[in-house]
Structure 1
Amino acid sequence: MELNVDDDLAWGGNTQPVALGSPELSEDGSQAAIRGRLTLTGEGGAVLRVGDSQLLFDVTDPSPLVAVDGTWVAVLAGRDSISLYFYSL
């Protein structure tokens, strides 16, 4: 299964730090919340580790500070910007 999020990561906008350090994917009305550990790539991108899965994001302004690298965050995304693909290996 592959999960794709079309929204960019905007620190303080759709991305916030969270105290609870466990992965989660939940829905609230027209938005989905994805909680995971954030890794900054240093090239204008970020990886959100949700359990054993990794979601790649482009980062827009305001960009997260280097100090948040490795911390737990929640990313809010519109339901219509999330795609789920199933495949067999």
Structure 2
Amino acid sequence: MLIELVKVAKDSGHLCLADVRTPLGRILVRWCGDRAAEPGEYRVEWTIDEDIVWGQNAKPAAGIGPGLRTDGHDVVLRGRLSLTEDGAAVLGLDGTNILLDLADPLPEDVADRWVEIFIDRERTMLYPYTL
């Protein structure tokens, strides 16, 4: 996904947090790139470092369509959920796929539906890459 990096700053735990703008919203997440990165556009890969538990940090979306927002210390990602044949889950977020780790199998009726996942901003990571 193409994002606009507004700034990188350390938090109290010495992690780098990035203030980023995307076509879907503005959020604060963990930055896994150069701590001295300059503001500008970056292509990033998303990683979620938390198991998904249906009914706790994942639920049906109130709306339709992809989105990003902040809810307190959490990042809320709204996307279309897909289940693979081997039981893995993927969140489709505006052309970007994010592999999700599941604590338990998801209900079958959530496949191909819009869902929201709530992940602590320090467990929602962006890895910049170049093509």
TM-score after normalising by structure 2: 0.63
Look up the match of 2:101. 58
Distance in 2 between the 1:30 and 1:49 partners? 22
Which protein is bigger by CA-based radius of gyration?
2
Distance in 2 between the 1:17 and 1:72 partners? 6
Look up the match of 1:48. 91
Look up the match of 2:117. 75
> RMSD across aligned C-alpha pairs, in angstroms?
1.2
Structure with the larger RCO, 1 or 2 (CA within 8 Å, 6+ apart) = 1
> Residue 4 of structure 1 aligns to which amino acid in structure 2?
T
Determine what percentage of the aligned residue pairs are the same residue: 38
Number of aligned positions between the proteins: 88
Distance in 1 between the 2:127 and 2:49 partners? 14
The 5-angstrom pairing of residues 1-89 of structure 1 reads 1-61=44-104, 63-89=105-131
> Residue 82 of structure 1 aligns to which amino acid in structure 2?
T
Distance in 1 between the 2:47 and 2:107 partners? 24
User: Unaligned stretches of 5+ in structure 1?
Assistant: none
- Cα distance, 1:42 vs structure 2: 4.0
Runs of 4+ with >2 A deviation: none
Distance in 2 between the 1:84 and 1:40 partners? 23
- Cα distance, 1:43 vs structure 2: 2.7
TM-score after normalising by structure 1: 0.90
